[in-house]
Chains A and B, each alone.
Chain A
């Protein structure tokens, strides 16, 4: 495995990836020396170690060396909690408008007693929180930790790390302890590890070859022994298996037994989704924003403020297994299950076991182990995700084909676990950068104009206090913060060419939007972003532009309309088909009348229900499409509206001869972070905040969760 050499400035902060300059030494010590070494360690720094509590084991601050246990089966909670705590302060604030990064702890600590599967999990999470927008909170905690692993002495009742290739790790820790009879072998893998190794004293002896061979025997025993459950296929084959299983009846059957309690996620060492909540102090001015570990099993996980529920119980149940076995492999290159068995321990309904589910699917789809991916029939889901992740080159082969499927025998011989560790590690940022680039801290913006557009929608023009332009592109969104209330994703509605300010339109559907409505010009809000993908306006030059908007869907596309009108000569005809429930829901009425007068612009409007004065049509927005005079080969369609609208509009556009690549949709999902971490906005394996919100229809038509 090739790892990048760290920049010199990183070495002190974070030596995790560093192997050069480390002794790689293995010494042999007596069992009793571990206790005295732990005492020395305790005198020097904070030690978090495995200890017994009520007949189970936990990671907790170690106060005396005697409490250390290295013979534990599995800890109740994963060590991830020391890097992503169950509850963690993200932002502190003081109204009006001071947002600050909370103190990122500075106290180094040793995490002692990690089993290999947990080391593999930490390694995965390192990658998750480093890739894309780095997460300063995770990285800070992680950089302060020294990882001391120990090989498993007592298998837990549900461990299947052997089946996942994580029973033994040769990488990812600073120090590794392996019990050999009444002695321990202690191996250093990093400079940090060398430091801990030195605490055994100068007279510590190198482990003799015979003992190294006995350690090999321990590893062999664990690779074969940590299999209380057997996975009937190599883990590398899971993506292929899942591609063939999306519509299996198993999901419905088993989800009927799922309590949606979230236990499986909350004890998982590779589940990292989080919720964000504000708490305001009694002075009503200061407060803090927290993130809390969340679960994709919970009923409201994918429910948006408007009330639409994007995943029902069956879909939520399925999502977890797909995330572990397909979506994470697609995005990060590893199967995100390390076989610790904690989910099995914690599920009182007995439906959380990944091996149970995967084996049951294998019984139903044995062909996935033998047939080439092309024969699996349901490869489209994987292709769609891969294409969106910018890996079109692999499209031909399909995702499952990328991994060499090994037989079980060859895997047992393999030194390194194949699928659990990231292939290449993204480095952790140095401290000063972590502090300077905190993506969770909003900028302050002032409301320079605000007026109601309808009964429930309000228009705002905002200016960033820093004076910098927002720098958005048409179709992108921002996270709008009201301290003490919360944060909500809101589409930017104005022309990117407007440099000094930007505009949003907010429908009153939730707490943040209701509180926004009570603000007045001169008040401030927090802004993060712009985030997400945009309509590719430059690429659309020369084409006719057809905008299909339903209800508040006119808001994000308005920026594109303004951009087209500003560069009128660059585009062909502009046709706007706008549907709304009733005339009083019409947004930007005055502006629409101005659009109408521009050359080459047609605006068609319709209402669902007619009450009162109305000059347009009556019926759903699709009734306007025949009148749009679509020139299929020459038109780009920008479509935005309520979830129910897409299916009908898209099928009509395709029927009119348009190509899926020329149809752009803007999709709404629940969002908490905006930077691809919190997990809420996922459509199958795709993040709406990263790969969206603007997609082509070609990109999402094979994602079953996109346009249901």
Chain B
């Protein structure tokens, strides 16, 4: 690598390595990159595909707008008062938020299954294709 750190970092010039994108970077900015982008590889540990879909959708609700989610064909929260921002009281404590999420999980699972059966989510094929290959590869290796 010939370029120096200062070159690589462009504007930072050594004052704050990697600019403001260190520990203080905005969580939404980080999540949309580490979760939505980056190389998707099928690891040995496979979270259930449905769970990944759920997680991604939940995060989209946090990071993206309701309008955008609607564009993606996701609108079930409108029928679910606990998910509608209009109906939901502001949640302050993180613990509360955590348990709320796990409660939602069960409900969403059923909803997603229905949705996927009905229309299919845009990302579903891309995510399913790779793990399938990797499972074969993994079997060949470990057995």
Determine if chain A interacts with chain B.
Answer: no
Q: What is the interface of chain A, defined by CB distance below 8 A to chain B?
A: none
